[in-house]
Amino acid sequence: MRYAFLSCLLSLQVFAAIPVIEKTDIFVGGEGGSALYRIPGIVVTTKGTVLAYCEARRKAGSDWGEIEIHLRRSTDGGQTWAAPQHIAHSGERIEGNPHKHDEEGAKEQTVNNPVAIVDRDGKTIHFLYCINYARCFYMRSTDDGLSFSKPVEITSAFEAFRPKCPWNVLATGPGHGIQIKSGRLVVPVWLAYGKKPGDHAPSMAGTIYSDDGGTTWKAGDIPLPNEGELKNPNETSVAELSDGRVMLNSRSVSKASRRLVTTSADGATGWSTPIFDDALWEPICMGGIVAHPKKPGMLIFSNPHSLELNAEGKPLPGARGKRRNLSIKISYDDGKTWPMNRTLEDGPSAYSDLAVLPSGFILCFYERDKRLTVACFPPAWVTGNPREAP
């Protein structure tokens, strides 16, 4: 009896020691002059400042329309947030919505797919975005995200893709890019080549990169073509593995209903044959991935862990799962296995991105209903092991 009591007490102490999760809504649809906020991206600067950015869809929730890029900063690990900044596009307006053939559509400017990269130089934040899914721009911040330089167009970098993909739609990310050990900046991109202007399918995915600190950009190979079982790869996340290889983790519309994964030694060429990761379910939704900077081999992944099932409870090949049950997974072996999985948001939830604070705590910036929410938690919250250090 005494042993049972002590065992129960110990269990309660262990349970109490597991940290709880904190959630903060930082963009809410209907507030700030925008009908909806979508497409989250998040990074932590070398100074520990959190930059969370997104598309501010001013009039409606569509991918097309009058859309701006808004950013919020936190200097205390996500506890408090500065007011939103409208950070792009500061150049001449580039108008025209190909899906809306009226005067209003002709005057709309769609600024889309923001991607940030934190440079190890300790002062530079690289930032890319697109306009009307047709042109790509680059700018940078040297004051920890308080302000950004005049944007420079880098659409010419995408021309090298044309022999393999006659694109009429281009997009970066979304989410964040990375700087790898060599200093190279790597940004996932996807390209679409439909017959109608602005169509987002069929599509392929690859990377663009810069070896001179963002001054010039080049196209890499296309490791994820629209071929065979690899149907319409598009929105792709990127991480550097412990051995220096670069991993792409991509959304696609496949019978496998699983995430597509490929790796490269340099983030641009020599990509491995893409495989479907059986542990990572694919409800046809953007997902986030990040390498934990203090734990070599540890990857964190986020997306709606959801599949469409038949009456017998078996997955329907190629079916679109519901965008709900956003979950966090952890791998300790560079993504070979994913032994840890925990639901972050069991209700409606969709796109997400990840970052890691200097403390080792994890940030997940994600869509739920009409809100964009930042969740903060240590790895122990996912694993259930209170002894797991951040």
Beta-bridge partners for 37: 56
The per-residue pLDDT for 1 is: 43
Please state, as a whole number, how many other Cβ atoms lie within 10 Å of the Cβ of residue 120: 10
Identify the three-state secondary structure at position 38.
strand
Integer Cα distance of 58 and 168 in angstroms: 25
53, 353 Cβ separation under 8 angstroms? no
Question: What is the side-by-side strand order in the sheet with 175-176?
Answer: 152-153, 135-141, 125-131, 111-118, 175-176
> What SS3 string covers 302-348?
EEECCCCECCCCCECCCCCCCCEEEEEEEECCCCCCCCEEEEEEEEE
264, 270 Cβ separation under 8 angstroms? yes
The per-residue pLDDT for 313 is: 85
Inter-CA distances, 139 with 40, 223, 355, Å: 18, 27, 21
Identify the three-state secondary structure at position 14.
helix
Beta-bridge partners for 110: 67
Integer Cα distance of 105 and 80 in angstroms: 37
130, 170 Cβ separation under 8 angstroms? yes
Task: Show the domains of the chain with their CATH numbers.
Answer: 40-388 (2.120.10.10)
The per-residue pLDDT for 18 is: 59
H/E segment holding residue 268: none
Integer Cα distance of 238 and 263 in angstroms: 10
41, 176 Cβ separation under 8 angstroms? yes
The per-residue pLDDT for 14 is: 40
Integer Cα distance of 238 and 264 in angstroms: 11
Integer Cα distance of 79 and 279 in angstroms: 33
Answering whether pTM is above 0.85, one says: yes
* Tens of pLDDT, residues 221-235: 999 999 999 999 999
Integer Cα distance of 281 and 256 in angstroms: 9
64, 55 Cβ separation under 8 angstroms? no
Integer Cα distance of 131 and 136 in angstroms: 6
Integer Cα distance of 270 and 331 in angstroms: 24
Integer Cα distance of 172 and 235 in angstroms: 8
Mean pLDDT per 10-residue interval, the chain, length 390 residues: 37 49 97 98 98 97 96 97 96 92 93 98 97 98 98 98 97 98 98 93 98 98 96 98 98 95 98 98 97 97 95 87 97 98 97 98 97 97 92
Q: Among all chains, which residue has been given the structure tokens 């102490």?
A: 13
Identify the three-state secondary structure at position 12.
helix
Integer Cα distance of 230 and 240 in angstroms: 23
DSSP of 52-87, one letter per residue? Answer: EEEEEESS-SSSSSSEEEEEEEESSTTSS-PPPEEE
Q: Among all chains, which residue has been given the structure tokens 């919020």?
A: 72
